[in-house]
Amino acid sequence: MVQRSRVELSVLVLSLLAWHCGGEKPPAEAVHEVLTPASRVVTEAEPLGPNDARIAALADATNNAVIAQAEVAWGRARDEHLRQFAHQQVMRHRDATLEQSRVESALGLVPSESDRSSALDARGQQEVVRLLKIEQRDFDSLYLRTQLRWHKEALRLFDSELVPNAENGELKASLRKQRELLASQEEELSQLYGMLGSPPFGPDALPSY
């Protein structure tokens, strides 16, 4: 059936009213189109994939970990540029978390925890403890090293698993936005790393994820 505009449908309705009052009878096809609810175009929600709930949980865990670590840096970093960056991280990832929550609510998607998302949560908490315990004079260097490694691993996770494996279009779009946020922050971290100088830590000073 041809989809008609609101104006065309209004004309058809008026034609029906005129016919009812003694005017010329409109075509039978038009009568059927106005009176049948099926003439409305309804777009069904795109279905969720079997792994979308687990993927959402991993994305949530990533955002939560970055927020928790950045909140520590916001209060402990000695360099003003790094404090400002940490503040921006908190705000950006809170926004990303809210957007992800809106998508999940709209889709009726309940994130499903897995061993991997639980492990990601645990590693994030370990990093927070590490950042809280270190001497403040060494904090900036440690935070930069931690965040550079964390962002590289998060980007690898989004690129290799989360984005390509998400089946729902809205969820995939949300994940792509989060991926772009991580990529832009990695660039900022690299610039800060170069500006503040090489930290006094060897390559094995931090755990590899």
Q: Model confidence over 112-164: pLDDT tens digits?
A: 999 999 999 999 999 999 999 999 899 999 999 999 999 999 999 999 999 99
Q: Which residues contact 89 (CB under 8 A, 6 or more apart)?
A: 66, 67, 70, 73, 185
Q: Model confidence over 53-75: pLDDT tens digits?
A: 999 999 999 999 999 999 999 99
Q: How many residues are listed for the chain in this entry?
A: 209
Q: Which domains does the chain have, with CATH numbers?
A: 6-39 (no CATH), 52-196 (1.20.1260.10)
Contact 103, 171 (CB under 8 A): yes
* Interatomic CA distance for residues 191 and 125, integer angstroms: 26
| Burial class of 2 by CB neighbour count within 10 A (0 to 12, 13 to 18, 19+) | exposed
